[in-house]
Amino acid sequence: MSFYTITLAAGKGTRMKSKLPKVLHKVCGKPMLQLVIDSAKKAGSVRIIAIIGEGAEQVQQEISDVEFVIQKEQLGTGHAVLSAKDKFAESEGTVLILCGDTPLLTDELLKNFVDAHKNSTCAATVMTAKMTEPTGYGRVVREDDGTFKKIVEEKDADDETKKINEINAGVYCFDVQKLFGALPQVKNDNAQGEYYLPDVLPILKAAGETIGVFEAPYAEEIVGINNREQLAAANKSMRMRKERELMANGVTIEDPNMTFIDIDVEIGQDTIIKPNTYLEGKTKIGSNCVIGPDVRMVNMIVGDRVEVQYSYCHDAEISNNVTVGPYVHIRPGTKIQEKVKVGNFVEIKNSNIGKGTKLPHLQYIGDSDVGENVNIGCGTVTCNYDGKNKHRTKIEDNAFIGCNTNLVAPVTVGEGAYTAAGSTITKDVPKNNLAIARARQTNIDNWNDKRK
Ligand code: UD1
Ligand code: CA
């Protein structure tokens, strides 16, 4: 039961008061147009076309899995669909039409909707919903016998029509040839001077076709985003949906209202997410972890039994049985192996940290390769930048870096080697050596008495 999809995404989104095209505003970390496309794809659409116009270049850069058609002038939703006519000259069957600003639609709802249309003899089916607050939406006007009559936009509606609480979701199924046959007959004699897509429905009806009405079971799914307040509300609904899904799969979320998880994030069983935690982008967390409180992770790969608290970690990997925090910054390109301990005001950038190594307090480790079971003393700094270039530091297995060591890269500390506390290491330290690189202490006899 294949079908095509057209998503409408060319509009300015005036009510957003934004320089960013409306459909690129994000809901749970993803542009809303991408969410709509993903749902259509999951529902089984074989071909998806997005009609774009406002900020088209930017939209093309940020949106994937779709073919684009440019609507040069935004003359209304009907005009938008018409601009894809050539793409369907040879096509037969069903086309699903969606708006790029209804990001909460689920693939399940879309699939049920398309199935209902296909199992009917209707030339078109419109999705509707009963809203307690219908203001702003097109209202569904029915005939006395309950069948579809027409849709009236808010701006064209009289007071009686405005009282109707059944609204047009902006989601339709059409027989593709019948749609493009009738669409050129749509006129723009309305309050906004636009070619309204819903006006094609009474045209088909007048030609003797049947128009189906499919009421969505959950009105929450079909909300359209026209302003920032609706954007915030949609984010909240989507977040709650994502968190319900995770909890159903065995993740503990201590306070769902205080947890912010992007749509593509994966979390394993029996992991506990503590409050004020942000899990963003393509972050993937294993099982039996404790994440939070106060953690932000962006595009992180995290193994099993990892504990992270009060920290910011992005574009990096953490293996099993690692503890991180409090107050740690893990930066891009870092790979931390099993059983590593990173704690208390540590920053790690673009470095590999070997199994069992400890970085317990106040370190900066940048562009470094640290071996296994290394102990890095408090206050150690890799001096990786000479003002022009970045250089790597190598610390081999079982080395011991004394407190407050500066490692001036490029430099290697060999296997089992030690550096004395307070050393500034500028030359390689051979295996099992102790490097002392600091001024010898001088004690001045009775100095305080002499001072007086
Ligand atoms: C539209 C429907 C309304 C419905 C509501 C559901 C029309 C005329 N009205 O109203 O009945 O209740 O959606 O959310 O269809 N777009 C284009 N090209 C254009 C104009 C719009 O691509 O020339 C796109 C927009 O980018 C947007 C979508 O179509 O993604 C809907 O347009 P919008 O202006 O938001 O329509 P609504 O007033 O919300
Ligand atoms: Ca809208």
> 63-79 pLDDT, tens per residue?
999 999 999 999 999 99
Taking residues 201-210, what's their average pLDDT? 98
Q: Which of 173, 198, 222 is the last residue of a domain?
A: 222
Sheet of 272-273: strand order equals 252-253, 272-273, 290-291, 307-308, 323-324, 341-342, 358-359, 375-376, 400-401, 418-419, 434-435
Domain match, 267 and 406 both: yes
Q: What is the dihedral of CA 42, 43, 44, 48, to 10 degrees?
A: -80
Domain match, 362 and 420 both: yes
Domain match, 122 and 241 both: no
Task: Tell me, yes or no, whether 442 lies in a domain.
Answer: no
pTM score: 0.92
Task: Tell me, yes or no, whether 445 lies in a domain.
Answer: no
Q: Could you read off the pLDDT of 95-140 as tens digits, one per residue?
A: 999 999 999 999 999 999 999 999 999 999 999 999 999 999 999 9
Domain match, 138 and 255 both: no
Domain match, 27 and 47 both: yes
For residue 299, give the CATH number of its domain.
2.160.10.10
The set of catalytic residues is: 361
Name the residue type at position 65.
Answer: D
Q: What residue owns the CA closest to ligand 1's atom 37?
A: 137
Q: Give the ligand 1 atom nearest the CA of 196.
A: 8
CA of 326 to the centre of ligand 1 (A): 48
Q: Quick one: which ligand is closest to 12's CA?
A: 1
DSSP 402: P
Look at the chain and report how many structural domains it folds into. 2
CA of 11 to the centre of ligand 1 (A): 8
Range of the domain at 116: 3-222
CA of 122 to the centre of ligand 1 (A): 23
Q: Quick one: which ligand is closest to 169's CA?
A: 1
* Residue 346, beta-bridge partner list: 328
Task: Tell me, yes or no, whether 407 lies in a domain.
Answer: yes
Domain match, 155 and 273 both: no
* Cβ neighbours for 253, distance < 8 A, ≥ 6 positions apart: 243, 246, 247, 259, 273
pLDDT of amino acid 1: 64
Query: Is residue 90 within 8 Å of residue 4, measured between CB atoms?
Result: no
Q: What residue owns the CA closest to ligand 1's atom 31?
A: 99
pLDDT bucket at 184, cuts 50 / 70 / 90: very high
113 SS3 class: helix
Q: Could you read off the pLDDT of 289-330 as tens digits, one per residue?
A: 999 999 999 999 999 999 999 999 999 999 999 999 999 999
* Cβ neighbours for 386, distance < 8 A, ≥ 6 positions apart: none
Helix, strand, coil percentages (3-state) for the chain, rounded to 5, are 25, 30, 45
Domain match, 305 and 259 both: yes
Q: Could you read off the pLDDT of 329-383 as tens digits, one per residue?
A: 999 999 999 999 999 999 999 999 999 999 999 999 999 999 999 999 999 999 9
Q: If we measure between CA atoms, which residue out of 138, 147, 135 comes closest to residue 199?
A: 138
